[in-house]
Chain A
Amino acid sequence: SYVLTQPPSVSMAPGKTARITCGGNNIGSQSVHWYQQKPGQAPVLVIFYDSDRPSGIPERFSGSNSGNTATLTISRVGAGDEADYYCQVWDSSSDHWVFGGGTKLTVL
C-alpha cells in the first residue's frame, strides 16, 4: 500500500518559518491534506487539496506539492503552533486512506 514518510520532529525558533515534508511515490499527482493535532485534542484540518486553507486557519499556513514531496509551511511560528502534524492522501490502488507517521513541531 501507499506509504507517506514524514520526519519525526522539526524544531524552529519563534518568528521563523517551519517546513514539514511528506514524502511519497509521485505524491505530486495526489491530493494531499494536512492536519494539526495538539495534545489531548482531536485533529484539525489546516490545509486541503495541497494548498487550500479552511476558513479560520491563519494565512501563515500554506502548502505545496510536487514530484515526490508535499510540504506544509508555517511562517512566523509561535508557541501556539506546537503540535503534531499529519499529511494524508487517498490511495486509489487499494481504496485506503493513508496518513503519514506525523511530525512533532517544537518551537524553541
Chain B
Amino acid sequence: AQKVTQAQTEISVVEKEDVTLDCVYETRDTTYYLFWYKQPPSGELVFLIRRNSFDEQNEISGRYSWNFQKSTSSFNFTITASQVVDSAVYFCALSDVSTGNQFYFGTGTSLTVIP
C-alpha cells in the first residue's frame, strides 16, 4: 500500500539556519512521482516541486534543494539560510501508476523560523 511518512511534526529554527524536512514513502510501483507542497499561514497550498522515480538527480532552486534517494525511499527537502517567510506547513505527496493520479499526502511538517 502507498504511504508517505513525515516524522517531524514541528520544527523551529532561528533565521539563517539550514533546515531539512524529511519524507519517507512506500510504494510497490516502479513508476511514481513525488511532490512537495507549501502551506503558508494564509492557508493555500502551493506546489513546490515534483520528482519522478527514474530521476535521482538532486535539484536546487535558490535556497531550496531536494535530495531523492530510492535506496532509502526518501525525498528530503532542505532550506538553506532560512527566512521568516519560510514559516509554513510543508507536505510531501506520492502519486503512482496503480492509483492513477491519486495523491497520498504525508501528515505535514510545521516549520517555524524565528527571527
Partners in one complex: no
By a beta-carbon cutoff of 8 Å, the part of chain B in contact with chain A is: none
